[in-house]
Amino acid sequence: MKSTSELVREAFTELYPGKSFPYQVTVKYSRKFGSYNANVKLSGHDLRFGLSREWKGVDADIVIGLLQALLIKLLGGKKTKRVELYHIFLKKVHQVVPKVHTDPVLSESFHRVNQEYFNDNMEEPNLKWSTDATRKLGHYAYGSDTILISSIFKDAPVELLDYIMYHELLHKKLKFDHKEERTIHHSREFREAERKYANFERMDAEISRFIAQKRRRRWRLLPW
Ligand SMILES: [Zn+2]
């Protein structure tokens, strides 16, 4: 079996044929990442990859696709067949990812939204509260099939929580598109589906108001 550093070279050579490879490669598998997550950092000639441990068991072609996707983010370039393979993998992996995280409030919200907008056809993902962020209100992580929702919604009217849940479930349903090097998460199809939510415009305005209120309150709590 090839080492991951060898796979990095192979990924690079296919992406940039004829170019020399001036990097010192380090690959670290870590439990810190959510499942099927990864990143890359370049400082000087140090090229460091961090991969979640699940990647260890994955087919080399798919891992090369992942490495190439990371390299493209860093250095530019055109996606290869193996990058496409990696994207397909990422879109399907939710089927095998274990469901270990849930929360009663989030689960109830999921079931309401699933029934109302998805004919109960969505499979329940992992559900978690994130920090009390007022910028990143929600997030869907494809690799771990997890919806994260900002803790500020713990004491919000449930209709606001359900609206965020709907947005994140659309990410799970529609996944992502690719154009050249760009990943498109909010496609035209996504935006159209988003507008099907009942009272979409009022909900959007109420979310903005709710966040503004949270920020003001935090400001008032500062010690000066
Ligand atoms: Zn989004």
Which domains are assigned to the chain? 4-95 (3.30.2010), 104-221 (3.30.2010.10)
- Distance from the alpha carbon of residue 10 to the mean position of ligand 1, in angstroms: 34
Residue 2: pLDDT band by 50, 70, 90 thresholds? confident
For residue 90, give the nearest of 127, 15, 37 by alpha carbon: 37
Q: For 5-42, what is each residue's pLDDT tens digit?
A: 899 999 999 999 999 999 999 999 998 888 899 999 99
134 burial type by CB count under 10 A (0-12 exposed, 13-18 middle, 19+ buried): middle
Give the distance from CA 221 to its chain's centroid. Answer: 32
- Distance from the alpha carbon of residue 13 to the mean position of ligand 1, in angstroms: 34
Give the count of alpha carbons within 13 A of 155, CB side only: 5
Residue linked to tokens 């070279």: 9
Q: For 116-170, what is each residue's pLDDT tens digit?
A: 999 999 999 999 999 988 899 999 998 899 999 999 999 999 999 999 999 999 9
Instruction: Report the SS3 class of residue 52.
Output: strand
pTM, 2 dp: 0.79
Q: For 187-200, what is each residue's pLDDT tens digit?
A: 999 999 999 999 99
- Distance from the alpha carbon of residue 36 to the mean position of ligand 1, in angstroms: 19
Cα separation, 74 vs 71, whole angstroms = 5
- Distance from the alpha carbon of residue 12 to the mean position of ligand 1, in angstroms: 31
- Distance from the alpha carbon of residue 18 to the mean position of ligand 1, in angstroms: 39
**pLDDT of residue 205 exceeding 70:** yes
- Distance from the alpha carbon of residue 186 to the mean position of ligand 1, in angstroms: 6
pLDDT, the chain, mean: 92
Secondary element (H or E) of residue 60: helix 60-75
- Distance from the alpha carbon of residue 137 to the mean position of ligand 1, in angstroms: 9
For residue 168, give the nearest of 209, 114, 92 by alpha carbon: 114
The percent of residues above 70 in pLDDT, for the chain, comes to 96
pLDDT of res. 224:
52
Residue 221: pLDDT band by 50, 70, 90 thresholds? low
Supply 185's token pair.
């998460």
Supply 50's token pair.
């961090």
- Distance from the alpha carbon of residue 138 to the mean position of ligand 1, in angstroms: 7
- Distance from the alpha carbon of residue 197 to the mean position of ligand 1, in angstroms: 14
Please, which residues have CB within 8 angstroms of residue 118's CB and are 6 or more apart in sequence? 169, 173
- Distance from the alpha carbon of residue 48 to the mean position of ligand 1, in angstroms: 28
Cα separation, 27 vs 3, whole angstroms = 10
Cα separation, 106 vs 165, whole angstroms = 8
**pLDDT of residue 183 exceeding 60:** yes
What is the residue type of 33? F
- Distance from the alpha carbon of residue 166 to the mean position of ligand 1, in angstroms: 10
